[in-house]
A = this chain, B = another copy of it.
């Protein structure tokens, strides 16, 4: 006794989703087939539509349906500032702050040699070309403050500084509303090292 073929195939296919193992995949398949035919049909269509329509912005590399994304196509942005982020989600987070009016470059990942993700996979050749277009004056590195994000920032910084570009890194420190008592000691130590004139 086994699952029918098309159910087995669905369970296998669901495992391409990050963080989904065999048990979760089975639970998801049962749920869709038992309780949410509409959702399953919609997901099937949405996957096909996204595969068909989504591509990378020619300038900043984020996901878009057009040749260029809305930010890159806008005429109101400051083209002398280039902010480097890891993912399209990070780009959206930056935009939500409403405090950055420059351009972006989305790496679509971070350096992670153990996973086979090197400079080529995060498109550093394209970033180099983009940053040395003669218009960009400052590159702001906004990768995550994880080990891999930090390593990526360091690598990109070396790469672009060598071309005479000004390269900066977003600040580490206590979060807004943060209390010394509740912050981890590593963050507090960094906040002390990177103190600035009051």
Contacts and interface: CB of A to CB of B under 8 A. Distances in A.
Interface in A26-82: 26-34, 36-37, 39-54, 63-66, 69-71
Interface string A168-190: 00000000000000000000000
A26 B89 contact: yes
Contact of A63 (B4, B49, B108): B4
Interface stretch (A17-25, A124-132, A141-149, A152-160): A17-25
A6 B41 contact: no
A109 B30 CA distance: 10
A74 to B, nearest CB: 9
Contacts of A66: 4
A50 B10 contact: yes
A29 B10 CA distance: 18
Interface residues on A, range: 35 or more
A69 B66 CA distance: 48
A7 B40 CA distance: 16
A62 to B, nearest CB: 9
Contacts of A45: 13, 44
A116 B13 CA distance: 30
Contacts of A6: 46, 49-50, 52-54, 65
Contacts of A46: 6, 9-10, 12-14
7 tightest A-B CB contacts, nearest first: A16-B39, A44-B47, A13-B46, A13-B43, A10-B50, A1-B95, A4-B65
9 contacts: A1-B69, A4-B66, A5-B65, A6-B49, A16-B40, A18-B27, A33-B51, A41-B47, A44-B48
